[in-house]
Structure 1
């Protein structure tokens, strides 16, 4: 009987502590100004330059564009590839990933 009473008390304390912690955590960070900061994505037409090497995270096939015609872009020369990054178009050399041309898509 004593064990059951002790377990009931412990369970009640755990539920009370966790619910009050959840209530504090739901908006506490925002009220104190310690919430997450939003990082702006890289904007190729502002941050990148011709001759510069494209960062490795943008060399993934998700950024490579095969439909350059539908975006009114010039045909890439042999060994070049168009990349679409944050609405901009970046023509790169596939051998060294250096930027040959940047076409802004958004302002």
Structure 2
């Protein structure tokens, strides 16, 4: 029952999003988002429009972030692989390297 409720909520959210998208697309070039008041039509002053230089900066920023995230992931993968390799090698060498002896504390 709980899963069904979650699925219904997700479907309702998707339908609402589709309705908003079709409302925005039906106005042609006029960007009409409900609840947003358009102050200017100049793309350099608007947060709703993308000037070419804004789009370029966004593209470079997203590319920079993704490139660094991939680098971080590869670095962490190498570190964890090396640490796991060291743990495995110590576990393999442990029984043969350590000699255990029983020490009796009783007096004879």
TM bucket by the smaller chain? 0.3 to 0.5
Higher normalized strand content (fraction of residues): 1
Structure number with the bigger relative contact order (C-alpha 8 A, sep ≥ 6) is: 1
Higher normalized helix content (fraction of residues): 2
TM-score (norm 2): 0.34
